[in-house]
Structures are given as C-alpha cells and as structure tokens.
Amino acid sequence: MKFEFVPVDYDYFDFEGRNYVKLVGRNEKGKKVCVVDSYEPNFYVILKKGAKPDKVVKKIEGIEVSKASRTSKVLKTEVVDKKFLGKDVKAIRVFVTNHKDLHDVASEIGDMKEIEVRREYDLQIISKYIKENGVDPLMWHSVEGDILGVDDFGGIADAFDVDICVGAKKIMKLKEEKEFKPKILAYDIETDDVELGKGEILMVSLYGEGIKKVLTWKKCDKVQDYVECFKDEGEMIEKFVEYVNEYDPDILTGYFSDGFDLPYLKAASQKNKVKLALGVDGKGPTFTRGRIPSGKINGIVHVDLFRFVDAVFSQYLQSETLSLNEVAGELVGESKEDFDFNKLPHMTDKDWYSFFSYNLQDAVVTFKLAEKLWPDMLEFSKIVKEPLFEVTRDRMSSHVENYLLHNLDRFDEISEKRPGHDEIGRRRAMGKYEGAFVFEPSPGLYDNLVMFDFTSMYASVIVSYNLSKATFDGKDFEKEPGFFPIMLGEIIEKRKTHKKEFAKNPSGMLRARSNAYKLLANAAYGYQGFFGARYYCREAAAATAKFAKDNILKAIDTIEKKGYKIIYGDTDSIAFLQGDKSKKDVLKFLKEINADLPGIMELDLEDFYGRGLFVSKRGNAGGAKKKYALVDSKGKIKIRGFETVRRDWCKLTRHLQSEVLSKILKDGNEKKALELLKKILEDLKRRKINLDDLMMRTQLRRPLNEYLAEGPHVVAARKMEAEGIPVSPGMVIEYFIGEGTGKRVGDRVYLPEEKAKYDMDYYLNNQILPAVENIFDVFDVSVKEIAEGEKQEKLF
C-alpha cells in the first residue's frame, strides 16, 4: 500500500538481534499509523593520512562481540572518501548488527597504527536514522509498504493500539510543504501533598478539542457538568487512561509534568495497582534518566511545556518566574484561577467547586499555551531535525549541535565525538577568556541620543572571520570557509529572509521559523565555548569575543572622529549624542561605517531616543555600566539594569523607581519625581504601605545545606521547611523584613503569613533610598537630606 505520512514519535526495537525504527504518526486521513523501518547501524573508522585500509578492513570484518543477551558482529565494511573537521580523509564505514554494540565493536578494533580515530558510535540511533534515511520529524512523506501481520516482528502490529501498522519498503519526503495539525490534549493533577507519592491525587483535569473534564473521587455532587466522580483514586486514574486512549492525541501535554504530574500518576497507579496504560503499546510511561527525568509515553509525545519554555524561551520572556500563571499570562494573555491551598484540610462544598474549576482552568491554560507554542515546537523540530520529544526538552547547545549534525552530510563530514569525562574536566579547568567591551558612561541626563547596534554580532563575527574548530590550525583561522561558519551564515541568511516574509505576511509559522533561526544564531557563539560541545573550540570563542571587541572599539572611534559624543556602549551597541546633526545625516554616516565593515558584519540603527539617564555606581564616583533608562520618540521607556527590573527588590521600591525614572525622562527634570518620593516616604513612615508591596522575592538556587552564607532568603526557606512546606532549588522564596533585634537582616525575616510590623528603617535605608539616591544625585539632590528633613518635620 502507499499513503502519505507524518512521523511524530520515534522509537526503536530489536528483533532477532537487529534494530528497527518504529515511527508513529498520522496519515493523510488523520488515522494514527505506525511505520516500521529497518536501519543499518554503522560507524566510521578514520584512517591516518596515507594509511592503507586493507589490513584494517580485514581485522574489522572478523569482529564479533558477545554480550549476555546477544552477539553482535560486523556485517560489512565500505571504504569511503569523507571529510573530518574539514580535511579529506579515507575512512572505513563499519556496519554492525546492533546499534547498542557500536561502542563495543569500536573498542574491539582497538588502536592500530593505521587508525586515526573512530567516530559516530556515540550518536543516538534515532538521530542517525533520521540523518541517514532522511525521514524528518513532522514532515510529510509518502510511504510504500505492507500492512504488518501477526507473524511480523513477533506480532508487534497487534501489540500497538494504532489504526494501521505498516512495514516500510520505501519512504520519500513529499516535495511540497503541507500543514500538520496535531491532536493536543492537556492535563493537570491536583494533590494534597506536593511531595511525590506522599499524598493522593484528588483530581485530574483534561482539556482538548471536544473534551473538557475534571475527574475526581473526592466530591460527588453533580453541580459542575464537567466533573465526573469515581469511587476511589485508582478508578479515577483508570478513567483518565481511558479518556486519553479514546481521544488518541499526538501530544499529551502538561506544565511541569515531567517533574510532577506524570511521575505522581505513575506512583499513584502503582499504589492503587491499576495500569497507567497511556502508550499505544499498552504500557505506562517510562522515565529517562538525566538531570531532570523525562516522561516518555510510547506512540504519544508527552510534552512538558515548562521544559520547552525554560530551555528555549525563558531568557526572552518578561516573566519573572516560569510559573504557568506568569508564562501563560505573558504568552496567551490568560491566567490561572486562584485557589487557596490552605483550605485543603477543611474544605466546604463551595471550596470543592472552586477547586474543580481551578483544576480545569489549569488544563485549559496549558492547552492554550501548547497551541501558542506549537508553531515554535514544530519549526524547531523541522529545523534541527530531531523528534518533538527531544526538541521540547533539549537546551540551546543541543539544538545547535543537532542542526550541525543533521547538515554534515552536505559537507561529507563525519561527526566529531562528544567529549568524555576527562576532556570535559580539562575544558572546564581552562578558566575564562576575555569577553565583551562595556563603555563606562558619565552619569547624567542626556537629550537626543542615537543607538547603533551590530546585527547578530557574535554570529556575524564567526562567519566573517571563519572561526571554528575545523578552521583552526592550532595558531590561526584558515581562509577556506569551514562548515560551521558556512552553516551559521545560512542560519543568519534564513533568519533575514523569514523575518522579511513575516513582515509582509505575518503568520505564527513564519514568526516561529524566523525566531528559531534567530535563537540558533544567538546560541552558536556560546556553543563553541561550551565544555560539553562536540565542536568545542575555546580559541574560536575567545577570538569571536576579541574580534567583536575590536569592531565595536573601531566603530566607537569612527563615530567619535565624526564629532559625536559617545555616551554608552555594551558588547554590540553604541549610544551617542545626535548633537546638531539631522537624522538623515546620522543614517548617511551609518552607511559609510557599514561600507568598511568586514565580511557580513552589519551596523544597524537601533533607535533614536529623546532622553537618556545614566547614573553612578553605589558608593563610587564612576558611572554604572548596564544600568540606564531611555525614552523613545513615542514616549516609551526602556529601563535596563535598574532595581525596577530586578525581581529581588520589593514592589514598593520597583514601582517608585520606575515612576521616578519615567517622570524624569518625560519632564526633563526631577521636580515631580521628588514630590512622589516625598509622598512615599510619608506613607512608609505612617505605616500606610501594603505588606504585599514590601515582599522580597529571591530564588533558591541550590539545596539548603549547600549554602555557605545564610542570606535572608535562605533563612526564610528554612522557616518554610520548619513549617512543613517543602522547599527545593528553583523556588522563589517570599519574605519581608520586620521589626526585631537581630544584627543580621536575616534575623528579621518573616514569611508572608507571619504577623509582624514591617521594619521601617530597613525599607527606608536598604530599599527606597538606595534605589533613588543615584538617580537624584544626577540633579545634585540629596535624598538622604530629604529623608532626614521628613524626620525632622515629623518630630516637630
């Protein structure tokens, strides 16, 4: 039979000692299809320059490796002309019966004087399959094959709960790009104890197209039509499984579900002795080990949206935490409902109804977030050619590496290996190299600023100067363009093209595509300096930073020589005074600068700004770097580095400072800002400030026992633990400073629920004054004196 097919989930299995890849996806009719394809595991033995392959081939062909469960042997060899790190090499491609034994066979070959290195025995089988067979994730293919019968592959067709199971004869990518819309199902659980296995699952919500349910066993009124009630936890879980199977999703998604919902469900199903048969194989989820366990379900892609957001988007989001509420609020404009978990021990009927509603809303929000992020997941998957499961969990370094890996064949390149433990140790011990240039500004309020910035500076430096592992000869970087800079150049080019297309014809797909290329370009520099990278090259990373620095310094010099006054600059941006020049003059000058820039490097106009404020460092006379505020021609204010944008300062401070900056930038003087400050000082002293505005929020970044210094947030976290609230790394700890006698700030730490008077002096001297002091200093206004004055007035 022949049909169209889009692979969504990739897996492999062994049959009679050989590897087969199992693809699960949809056909053109929307049916769930499993396609079994054969795969020939192989790796390369790269020969030394001038070495003859014959002797090596002979040794290799006789190799057999016996393990407890199977014997793996070399099936065939091919002598091939390839490239390795840009150099022509002769290599022997070694085909082995089982992928899992590649490493052992490679070791068995051992060191022969003819052999330079062995490579590609350390790649994932699925990655190699995609790379060699070209069956790319989420792309439409035409498949020719036979429906599998009960006798094929030990009867796997029967074991899989899919519409059709086919043994592939031929799989070809379709020429035209066709849309694929996955069936997404979102879920969320609520428990009475957040610690895994300790509590019970009170309810499970499901939300997708045509499904909207809360399953529970706690409260059986038929008040909300979407609530279904069951006899116990086990029965509820069984029904959850049934609904998932019935809905037959491509994607089952949760938020933090790798770390919470799915493992909790698994533990609860074991406790209740019910099957969590979510997979098409009728089996429960498995958890791959790693820093964070990943929950895998056979034939369905389990997507933990938190992982994807955390790994790929977090640095570009405004959200101060990656909670579902904040992230969904920012990305889909929808937020969660409120529920007070303190009510749990004594729930009224009404409390239960609002709890159900809350639980449902979480699944709804998760579903909407999944729909919103779908174009991004899809594009990342298509671009780096890795399955959805991996793509939604990989960090940017892996994305860069996968992009390289899946494009190596165009360059005839054999893949470099992953660094081993010792190599990683050596790389990490190397220490830092010199990085970016930051211009020290003179504190002051400036009118009419121009900001230039280099587009994708580090990436364009890598391309323009050909900086990479394969183009480094130990001393200099070669002229002949290497595959890394070439690919990066393509990435930058594609980003440009898709950005333009998007501007002309906006769509979620184009936005996501353009964005994915942008993120890849931005991560390429860090990748070469990352100790875990296959194509790690410290010299390339250091040279990138150095050439970037040379270029910004040269541009600054050019701009200065033209008669402009430089105000600020950081890494790839330069701010200077427009002076008496017209915007047209500035743009003409920009063109002149661009004409002299090397390679693909490009200086761009970032914007014109009406005013800009720069302050001094605390205690020191020098100008503070990475701290400034600008206002553009539309009156939009851009604040960088100030306490306003730091989540570890209380709201009162942040709001006040933001208002102060805004007034100063808009009015051009400090008068109104000063009035505002006085009002807040007054409110603070009259104890009129809301406690919520005084809450401090600091992230716990390691387990409590690993702290050498006990900062206020660590004290707060210990208090929480003492009260039975579990704390863990990553949590944002909330507390306020109240009155007390202790010497340390930490001695006066109170949790939000604790009853205490706020420490007026602390909030005055450690929050408000420090945040506005340097700003008013620019106008020679001493806020210390003003605060003192207020005190005097009050006394009299």
CB environment 65-97: b (16+ within 10 A), e (fewer): beeeebebbbeebeeeebbbbbeebbbbbbebb
- Out of 36, 45, 236, 396, point to the residue binding DNA (CB under 7 A): 396
> Is 606 a residue that touches DNA (CB under 7 A)?
no
- Out of 173, 181, 565, 640, point to the residue binding DNA (CB under 7 A): 640
DSSP-assigned letters across all residues of 654-709: HHHHHHHHHHHHHHSSSHHHHHHHHHHHHHHHTT-S-GGGG-EEEE--S-GGG-SS
> Is 362 a residue that touches DNA (CB under 7 A)?
no
- Segment contacting DNA by CB under 7 A, of 82-90, 129-137, 173-181, 703-711: 703-711
> Is 745 a residue that touches DNA (CB under 7 A)?
yes
Site for DNA in 27-56 (CB under 7 A): none
- Out of 3, 531, 608, 779, point to the residue binding DNA (CB under 7 A): 531
> Is 397 a residue that touches DNA (CB under 7 A)?
yes
- Segment contacting DNA by CB under 7 A, of 56-64, 116-124, 404-412, 634-642: 634-642
Contact residues for 212 (Cβ-Cβ < 8 A; gap 6+): 206, 226, 360, 364
Q: Tell me the two tokens of residue 244.
A: 């998932």
- Out of 236, 303, 461, 624, point to the residue binding DNA (CB under 7 A): 624
- Segment contacting DNA by CB under 7 A, of 78-86, 214-222, 270-278, 427-435: 427-435
- Out of 58, 701, 757, 784, point to the residue binding DNA (CB under 7 A): 701
> Is 605 a residue that touches DNA (CB under 7 A)?
no
Q: Which is nearer to DNA, 655 or 701 (CB)?
A: 701
Other Cβ atoms closer than 10 A to 286:
13
> Is 647 a residue that touches DNA (CB under 7 A)?
yes
End-to-end CA distance of the chain: 95
Tell me the one-letter amino acid at 352: W
The C-alpha atoms of residue 548 and residue 459 are separated, in whole angstroms, by 10
The C-alpha atoms of residue 751 and residue 715 are separated, in whole angstroms, by 10
DSSP-assigned letters across all residues of 487-537: HHHHHHHHHHHHHHHHHHS--HHHHHHHHHHHHHHHHHHHHHT-TT-TT--
Per-residue binder mask for DNA (CB under 7 A), 298-337, x = binder:
-----------------x----x-----------------
Q: What SS3 state is found at 397? A: helix
Q: Which is nearer to DNA, 397 or 578 (CB)?
A: 397
- Out of 31, 511, 625, 651, point to the residue binding DNA (CB under 7 A): 625
The C-alpha atoms of residue 3 and residue 32 are separated, in whole angstroms, by 12
> Is 671 a residue that touches DNA (CB under 7 A)?
no
* Spatial CA neighbour of 161 closest among 296, 34, 295: 34
Q: What SS3 state is found at 540? A: helix
**766 DSSP assignment:** I
Site for DNA in 117-146 (CB under 7 A): none
To DNA, the closest distance from the beta carbon of 290 in angstroms equals 5
- Segment contacting DNA by CB under 7 A, of 249-257, 280-288, 520-528, 597-605: 520-528
> Is 702 a residue that touches DNA (CB under 7 A)?
yes
- Segment contacting DNA by CB under 7 A, of 27-35, 127-135, 249-257, 529-537: 529-537
- Segment contacting DNA by CB under 7 A, of 71-79, 164-172, 618-626, 670-678: 618-626
- Segment contacting DNA by CB under 7 A, of 83-91, 194-202, 348-356, 696-704: 696-704
Site for DNA in 366-385 (CB under 7 A): none
To DNA, the closest distance from the beta carbon of 43 in angstroms equals 21
To DNA, the closest distance from the beta carbon of 714 in angstroms equals 7
Q: Residue 399 — left, alpha, or beta (φ > 0 → left; ψ -120 to 50 → alpha)? A: alpha
Q: Which is nearer to DNA, 366 or 767 (CB)?
A: 767
Contacts of 716-722 spanning 24+ positions with Cβ under 8 A: 716/749, 716/751, 719/749, 719/751, 720/751
